[in-house]
Amino acid sequence: MLNSVNSVLDLIGNTPLVKLRSIPGGSDAEIFVKPEYLNPSGSLKDRIALEMIRAAEAAGKLKPGYRIIEASTGNTGIALSFVGSCLGYKVTIYMPEGMTPERIKIMESYGAEVVQLKTEKLSSTEKSIAGSEVEIPTRQMCLNIERSTPKTWWARQFSNPANTAAHVKTGKEILKQMDGKVHAFCASIGTGGTLLGIAKALKERVPDVETVAVEPASAMYSLLSGHRKVPGTSDEISGGIVADILDSGLLSGSMSVTNDEAVAMSDRLVKEEGLFAGVSAGANVYSALKIAERLGKGKRVATVLPDSRDRYLTEKKYTT
C-alpha cells in the first residue's frame, strides 16, 4: 500500500515530543521539548510561513505572479523562501547585516533574493540579538516597497494574526502529546507568535499552567521592561504580537538569558541529549531548567527547540 504525502508542505508540523534524560537533575521537574528543527526547512517558522501565505491567498492579498517580501533575522526568511518556492512565488528577504552566513546560503538555495542592511545595534559586545529591535530598518524598507511596488505582499510576521494562529496548533499538539498534563511552558519571544499561540492553547485547557517569556539579555526594549514596541517607531513596523502578549494577560513571568548561557546549553543538548538544535533552543532549555528546578519532581515543563544547529556553525548567536 502506497504511504506518501502529496507535497513536502504536508510534512510541516506534527513534530514529536522528546523527554530530556540527562540535563534535568533527579529532583527537578521533567522537561519535554519539541524539536521543531525537524520541520522541512529546519525551523518552527515553516508553520507560520505556510499559515500566513495560505491566509493571504484566501483573502486575495497574495496572487500568482506576486512577490513575497519579509524582514527577518533568518528563520522566517528561510521558511518563506522554502514555502514560497514550493508554491511558485518569488521571494525577497531583507536582513540586518551581521547574521550568520549559513542562513543567507540556505535562503539563496531555495531561490530567494537576500538583501542585507547595516544596523548599529549589532555593535554590542553582547552577541545575543533581539529581532524585534534589529529588524526595524528592514521592516521600514518592506513597508516602503509594499507601498510603491505593485504585486508585492509583505508577510508582516511581527503583526500577522496567522503567525499566532499557526502556533495555537502547536500548543494543541503539545497538549495531546502530554495528555494535558503540563505545568509550565517557556519560549523565546521573537515576534511573539510562538509564545502567544501556544500560551492561548495551553491556558484554554490548563488554566493554571505557567507561561514564561524568554528574552536575550541584550534586549533594550523588552517585555521585561514593559515595552509594547520599540520607542519612536510606528505601529506599522513595531509592536504587533508583542503588544498583544502584554494585553492578553497570559504571561506568568519572564526571564533573560545571555548569549553565553544559551550557547552552553545548546552544546549540552547536542552532547548529552543528541539533539542537534540551535542557540535559541539552548536559551529555551536553559530557562526550562530553571523552572524545573523551582517546580521540583512530579511536575512537567515544556518548550520548543526552534531551529537546527546548522545555521550557527560560523558563529553562535542567541537570535530571536
What amino acid positions are annotated as catalytic residues? 45, 280
Read out DSSP for 137-198? HHHHHHHHHHHHSSSEEE--TTT-HHHHHHHHHHHHHHHHHTTT---EEEEE-TTSHHHHHH
For 256, half-sphere exposure in the C-beta direction (CA atoms, 13 angstrom radius) is 15
Q: What's the CA gap between 47 and 83, in Å, rounded?
A: 10
Q: What's the CA gap between 286 and 292, in Å, rounded?
A: 10
Contacts of 53 (CB under 8 A, 6+ apart): 62, 68, 80, 83, 84, 87, 89, 155
Structure-block grid coordinates of residue 119: 544596523
Q: What's the CA gap between 174 and 93, in Å, rounded?
A: 31
Structure-block grid coordinates of residue 164: 499566532
Contacts of 237 (CB under 8 A, 6+ apart): 136, 139, 140, 143, 158
Q: Reading across the β-sheet that carries 113-117, which strands appear in turn?
A: 113-117, 90-96, 67-71, 152-154
What amino acid occupies position 218? S
Q: What's the CA gap between 191 and 163, in Å, rounded?
A: 9
Q: Is residue 268 within a helix (H) or strand (E), and if so which, with residue range? A: helix 259-273
